[in-house]
């Protein structure tokens, strides 16, 4: 695992955008997208490069990591809508090349299987962006999730519901607790992983991911098992790492 420590969140976003650009510039490629607030600064930097430095996403296909079950794609807080608002509607990726798990399906297990098949038939993900939850989750793979699982439905832990309540007017009861998420095995199939973490609230999870055992107690520790994983941190997120 390559660990890059940058002074602040803005520098972390530039470092992450540099890596995404390396993959996107030569195209065609398949990009795995993450939601959550952390990657937003990276998306803004990529939008800036699209506008000012002719970085084109016209030959990019994108797959989302996860989705809430029960929100329609037009619900402002669905991840489908969020990624459009935060990123894809401001670049030149074709709308119909952005895929996500079907959170409206009445058969989530089938929707999960179809999603894995769609990723496989697209030739897999070249570069997967990731954030990390304060309890070490990636995508919506909560602690205890097997390290080799495929896309599946899951129930959010109380910590994640409370962390995400800020997107639902601060109300924990408004956060959908059932989700579809790429499994840790699905995520590991990506040819390269790029995780961004900023802020003190992530410091403990970051230390467990990098220095703890690679096991389901910290789902993000699965990055230790990947041959091409890069972690970009700011100093606050790196603050609980031991001396090297």
**What positions carry a catalytic annotation?**
66, 135, 137, 142
From the list 1-9, 12-20, 54-62, 130-138, the region that binds ligand GLP by CB under 6 A is 130-138
Looking at residues 155 to 174 of the shown chain, list those that interact with ligand GLP (rule: CB under 6 A): 160, 164
Between CA 42 and CA 206 the distance in angstroms is: 19
Q: Which residues contact 73 (CB under 8 A, 6 or more apart)?
A: 80, 81, 100, 103, 104
| Other CB atoms within 10 Å distance of the CB of residue 57 | 24
Where do we find the tokens 């890596």? 19
Indicate whether 38 belongs to the interface with ligand GLP (CB under 6 A): yes
Number of residues that bind ligand GLP (CB under 6 A): 14
Contact 65, 139 (CB under 8 A): yes
Between CA 190 and CA 32 the distance in angstroms is: 8
Contact 70, 183 (CB under 8 A): no
Sequential DSSP letters for 206-238: HHHHHHS-SSTTSGGGGGGG-TTEEEEEETTTT
Two structure tokens written together for 168: 């639902």
Q: Is 2 exposed, middle or buried (0-12, 13-18, 19+ CB in 10 A)?
A: exposed
How far does CA 168 lie from the centroid of its chain? 19
- Cβ 61 to ligand GLP shortest distance, Å: 19
- Cβ 39 to ligand GLP shortest distance, Å: 7
- Cβ 196 to ligand GLP shortest distance, Å: 8
Indicate whether 86 belongs to the interface with ligand GLP (CB under 6 A): no
- Cβ 31 to ligand GLP shortest distance, Å: 15
Looking at residues 57 to 76 of the shown chain, list those that interact with ligand GLP (rule: CB under 6 A): 65-66
From the list 85-93, 125-133, 145-153, 185-193, the region that binds ligand GLP by CB under 6 A is 125-133
| Interface residue with ligand GLP, options 12, 16, 20, 36 (CB under 6 A) | 36
- Residue 106's nearest CA partner among 153, 38, 171, 41 is 153
| Interface residue with ligand GLP, options 63, 87, 115, 140 (CB under 6 A) | 140
- Cβ 133 to ligand GLP shortest distance, Å: 5
Length of the chain: 244
Indicate whether 82 belongs to the interface with ligand GLP (CB under 6 A): no
From the list 33-41, 70-78, 182-190, 232-240, the region that binds ligand GLP by CB under 6 A is 33-41
Give the binding site for ligand GLP (CB under 6 A).
34-38, 65-66, 131-133, 139-140, 160, 164
């Amino acid at each position: 695992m390559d660990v890059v420590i940058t002074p602040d969140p803005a520098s972390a976003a530039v470092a992450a955008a540099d890596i995404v650009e390396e993959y996107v510039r030569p195209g065609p490629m398949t990009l795995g997208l993450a939601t959550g607030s952390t990657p937003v600064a990276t998306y803004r930097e990529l939008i800036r490069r699209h506008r000012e430095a002719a970085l084109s996403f016209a030959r990019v296909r994108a797959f989302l990591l996860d989705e809430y079950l029960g929100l329609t794609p037009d619900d402002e807080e669905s991840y489908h809508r969020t990624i459009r608002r935060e990123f894809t509607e401001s670049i030149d990726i074709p709308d119909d090349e952005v895929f996500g798990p079907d959170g409206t399906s009445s058969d989530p297990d089938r929707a999960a299987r179809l999603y894995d098949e769609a990723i496989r038939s697209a030739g897999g993900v070249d570069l997967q962006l990731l954030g990390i939850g304060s309890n070490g989750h990636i995508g919506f793979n909560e602690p205890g999730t097997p390290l080799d699982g495929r896309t599946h439905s899951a129930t959010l832990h109380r910590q994640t519901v409370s962390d995400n309540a800020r997107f639902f007017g601060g109300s924990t009861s408004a956060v959908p607790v059932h989700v579809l998420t790429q499994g840790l095995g699905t995520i590991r199939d990506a040819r390269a992983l790029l995780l961004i973490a900023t802020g003190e609230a992530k410091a403990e999870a970051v230390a467990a991911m990098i220095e703890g055992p690679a096991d389901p107690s910290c789902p993000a520790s699965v990055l230790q098992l990947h041959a091409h994983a890069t972690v970009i941190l700011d100093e606050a997120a790196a603050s609980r790492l031991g001396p090297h």
